[in-house]
A and B are shown apart, each in its own frame.
Chain A
Amino acid sequence: MSNQLDHKLQRINELLAERAAFGLSDDDQRTLAGLLADSPVDPESFERTAALAALAFHAGPLEALPERLRDRIAAGAREEVGRRESGVGSVGRTTDNVPVVELSSVVRGGARYREIVAWVVAVACLLLAMFVLRRERASPLLTPVEERALLLERAPDVVKIPWAPAGDPAGKRATGDVVWSTENQAGYLRFKGLAENDPKNNQYQLWIFDATQDKRYPIDGGVFDFGPASVNKVTGDTVVPIRAKLRVASPQMFAVTVEKPGGVVVSSRNRLALIAERAAPGG
């Protein structure tokens, strides 16, 4: 019996540690929820640990919350807190991070029902507002060429760096540049003369080397193809949006490699096609 309990406790701790570090699959999340029932384990101790570690790993000063975003959050919060004060709803004590489960487990009587309806309406309003805001921000009518031009025109911190061949035949005749704005976390690759790739065999992949990061771990900037279909008929260029998987704080170099379809997590860098390196300050 004791062994069973020890094993259960061990499994709970494994899942909690994994959840805090990486997140859990839906299956593991359900397993954990089952194991945690009637368990004395604090389900948040590892999450608090990871939170403090995240703060400690964070290098440099904190960035300020943009004022417009702050105003938007404050307005929504006052509405929500005001609703709570007026007795329309109240915040229940949660024990885990699955609020939907929590709602379904606390349905008791008409007052509780009205509370839930109020919450559902509030959440629906919030989702609608976020959907509208997202639509406002997106610019689906612009091509990558136009978006690039807009970034160059509007972003005060934008940088433009020319490509240089890096040895692989695929990039031998290529020209073009990278534009990037750290403030906007957006950028574009522009090419002419890059070798056409067959997406069934290989794809190009962008890597971003950040000064604040270990050089062994460049940020994955996304995969792309180059061929007649990608060429803009007006400019003759191919412009590819950068899809950085992580925030880029201080980009020092952009590199394009040839990889297997879908890209890789770590490049062997055996087929390095192009690089674009920022000049050193004062250089």
Chain B
Amino acid sequence: MADCILPKVALGQTDAIDECLSRYGGLVWSLARRRSPTLSDAEDAVQEIFVDLWRSANRFDEAVASEATFVAMIARRRLVDRGRKQQRTIPTTPISSGLDQAASDGRSPMCFDEDIDRARRQMELLRPDERTVLELAIDRGLSNSQIAEYLKMPLGTVKTHARRGMTRLRELFGQSPRQKVAERAP
């Protein structure tokens, strides 16, 4: 397992930035592309996410979550926020000026592959309705009302499936609902 890089970023080590981008650039870019309507929107989102990450690096605690999960959490938070704002505006489709070739093949030789495999197995333990709702919400980025329309399900049922599914997943993933005492210290 690779050493964590975020503590070095938090300490202001500039050489840690390149390492961080090498490790998590593909992860953040892939998540942004999945949730962004256009390429330029994905680029803007990725820049915002990394600004968030530099500022949040000192909050990373490997006892609470893996580094990849922490990075994905910061990324999702920004993407969900952008998605909500975009739902209130008319989307635009600017043509891209084209991007340079990829910096690498995008495959991630990282420690988080193991986490993901385990999470996939655990997600199979969800009820089918719960899994479908969460997949549409988390992977496809649909709102609860859009999912209700997709699945022809009452909105309340969609919310219930989402809440139960999230609670079950939290248990399966071993994410404690209690805040660590140290985290709450002023």
Chain A: interface residue total (CB-CB under 8 A): 85
Q: Which of B47, B98, B138 contacts A53 (CB 8 A)?
A: B138
Is B166's beta carbon under 8 Å from chain A? yes
Task: Tell me which of A41, A69, A150, A246 contacts B177 (CB under 8 A).
Answer: A41
Which chain B residue lies CB-closest to A53? B138
**Chain B proximity of A158: nearest CB distance (Å):** 12
Determine whether A55 belongs to the interface, using a CB cutoff of 8 Å to chain B: yes
> Cβ of B80: which chain A residues have Cβ within 8 Å of it?
22-23
Which 5 residue pairs spanning A and B have beta carbons closest together?
Answer: A65-B25, A64-B102, A64-B106, A51-B72, A57-B139
Q: A42-B178, A242-B93, A243-B91 are in contact. Are A62 and B108 (CB under 8 A)?
A: yes
CB of A91 closer than 8 Å to a CB of B: yes
CB distance from A197 to the nearest CB of B (A): 19
Complex partner residue of B176 from A45, A185, A266, CB under 8 angstroms: A45
Which segment, of A79-87, A230-238, A250-258, faces chain B?
A: A79-87
A62 to B116, CA, bound (A): 13
Partner of A52, one of B30, B72, B179: B72
The answer to whether B21 has its CB under 8 Å from any CB of chain A is yes
Q: How far is the CA of A150 from the CA of B94 in the complex (A)?
A: 12
Are B54 and A22 in contact (CB-based, < 8 A)?
A: no
Our count of residue pairs bridging A and B at CB distance below 8 angstroms stands at 291
Indicate which residue in B13, B97, B135, B146 contacts A57 across the interface (CB closer than 8 Å): B135
How far, in Å, is B5 (CB) from chain A's closest CB?
A: 12
Given that A91-B57, A243-B91, A265-B146 are contacting pairs, would A74 and B17 also be in contact in the complex, using a CB cutoff of 8 Å? yes
Q: Contact: A66 with B84, CB < 8 Å?
A: no
Contact of B59 among A14, A78, A94, A217 (CB under 8 A): A94
A23-B83, A74-B17, A185-B33 given. 14 additional CB < 8 A pairs? A17-B166, A18-B159, A20-B166, A41-B179, A42-B179, A43-B179, A48-B73, A52-B65, A57-B123, A78-B17, A84-B12, A137-B96, A138-B94, A242-B93
- Find out whether the CB atom of B47 lies under 8 angstroms from the CB atom of A18: no
From the candidates B36, B54, B91, name the one contacting A81 in the complex (CB within 8 A).
B54
Asked if A246 contacts B38 (CB within 8 A), the reply is no
Note all chain B residues with C-beta closer than 8 A to A241: 93
